[in-house]
Amino acid sequence: MQQPSPSRRSVLAGLGALAAAGTLGTAASGCAAPAAGAGRTRLRYWHLFGGGDGVNMQSMLDAYSAAHPDIALDAVTLQWGAPYYTKLGMAGAGGRAPEVAALHLARLPGFAPGRLLDPFDVDLLADAGVRPEHFPEEIWRRGAVDGEQYAVPLDTHPMVLYFNTEICAKAGLLENGKKLKPAGSAQEFTDVLRAVKKTTGQPPIAFESTGADTIGPWRLFSTFYSQTGGTILSPDATRITIDDTKALRVLDWLKSLMDDGLAVRNLDYNGGVSTFNLGKTAFLLNGEWEVSSFLTTELPFSMTRIPALFGSASTQADCHSFVLPHQAGRGGASNEAAHRFVAWMLQHTVEWAKGGHVPAYLPTLEKPAYLELKPQSEYRSVVDDVALDPPAWFAGSASSMWLELGAVFSGVLTGSRTPRGALAEAKDRLQRLLDTPDPFGGVA
């Protein structure tokens, strides 16, 4: 789910702390865990899930513990964002980390696989019933570095389109009374918005456009720019590859939504959620994790994939994943338990999907219990079309790239920057990030 964005200073400070941790060696350590007890194997798990995600994760952990009385599970929830990654990196640098932890997949390149993380034993995973073919190929591939599997994806959490079913029905936009009629281009979607505005007299769509440390504008740009087939960085993340024509096409369109009164102006993250939740708009562009908010308030709504407005049907996303933080002398019963824990969690992700995330473990997507989840299962096909950040150390959830580019593209939405000026500034900021040495010194 969305968490309060850390300040730019805190993110960069966190990276600096990790860099220092890489030189401190065994001086950095993980948290102490209680003794496992006679005949029980100790298994420590760190994660950063709060809010609705935290509730669903705890439900899964309780079920795991009940099914594995021989495992002494010590699960710890740490503060989301830079504080979490700083602590996890320091624990890995000291070689005294927990047996397993959560990590955003797009942050893997900046987490020094081979130094701060240990690779999975894919044979142990296979013995527990989890194999590479159980995942979308691209998502599984992003967890690999130099032929070793360092991350096993738990889910993908993409941008989606929420829609108010009552408003859309009045505007004649629904098929069979439930599903939103498709729009195949930016012009077609603009026409849909105009039709809704004619019905309601109000701006028909809401999304995050401003606020302290805003990242929503980056997510919007990334979604629609990815649909054009454009890229941000080269495959090795060493040079900028932005296509100006494609980028300006997206930025000009986003600006037009504001200029034409089709989007609510100057909304921070909570303002966007609240505006849609109060029934003031027909649509909301946001991450799927807000599904719990709207189910709680019994809003008449549903969800669907963001339509393919600029070519392909891709959408900005990241993935929660499991990793093995570096331990000196990793192995034995605790390491085997870590692998079996990951497999068990993946095989029980119907519970996790209740919070909106699309399970990365493909067999879950065919389970009747998952298909019965509405509207969570309505956009499940997006798992094959997610646009992850480029593999750079400064990218991924809660990263400096999100904050830097979110601030720049916010100006396009609020009117303080022109699309062309914002694009030039975005390139300048990206180049500064590229010129900044990787705090970890690259993959060990």
pLDDT at 16 over 60: no
281 within a domain of the structure (yes/no): yes
**232 close to 430: Cβ distance less than 8 angstroms:** yes
Residue 440 lies in a domain: no
The C-alpha atoms of residue 379 and residue 364 are separated, in whole angstroms, by: 14
**Both 404 and 379 in a single domain?**
no
Does residue 219 share a domain with residue 108?
A: no
Of residues 312, 316, 319, the one with CA closest to residue 142? 319
Instruction: Please check whether residue 443 lies inside any domain of the structure.
Output: no
Banded pLDDT at 15 (limits 50, 70, 90): very low
The total of structural domains in the chain comes to 2
CATH number of residue 414's parent domain: 3.40.190.10
pLDDT at 38: 60
Query: Is residue 369 packed enough to be buried (19+ CB in 10 Å), middle (13-18) or exposed (0-12)?
Result: exposed
Q: What is the rounded CA–CA span in Å between residue 330 and residue 418?
A: 53
Claim to verify: residue 129 and residue 228 sit in the same structural domain: no
Per DSSP, which regions of 96-193 are E strands?
Answer: 100-104, 117-118, 144-145, 148-149, 152-153, 155-164, 174-175, 179-180
Mark whether 224 and 303 lie in a shared domain: yes
Tokens of 250: 């997206």
Report yes or no on 441 lying in a domain: no
Question: Which of 92-96, 114-118, 179-183, 340-344 shows the lowest per-residue confidence on average (mean pLDDT)?
Answer: 92-96
Q: Do 170 and 245 have their domain in common? A: yes
232 and 303 part of one domain? yes
pLDDT value of position 440: 63
Identify whether residues 249 and 297 lie together within a single domain. Answer: yes
Output the pLDDT for position 18: 41
Same domain, 296 and 183: yes
The more confidently predicted of residues 32 and 282 is 282
Indicate whether 291 and 326 sit together in one domain.
Answer: no
Asked, for residue 409, whether it belongs to a domain, the answer is yes
The 10s digit of each residue's pLDDT in 140-189 is 999 999 999 999 999 999 999 999 999 999 999 999 878 999 999 999 99
Is the pLDDT reported for residue 391 higher than 50? yes
- Give the pLDDT band (50/70/90) at residue 14: very low
The last residue of one of the domains, among 362, 383, 404, is: 383
- pLDDT class for 202, splitting at 50, 70, 90? very high
| Host domain of residue 211 | 159-317+391-435
The answer to whether residue 201 is domain-embedded is: yes
Residues 131, 147, single domain; the answer is: yes
- Are 123 and 223 members of one domain? no
128 and 174 in a single domain? The answer is no
The residues pairing with 205 across neighbouring beta strands, listed in sequence order, are 263, 283
The last residue of one of the domains, among 351, 367, 383, is 383
In a domain, 284, yes or no: yes
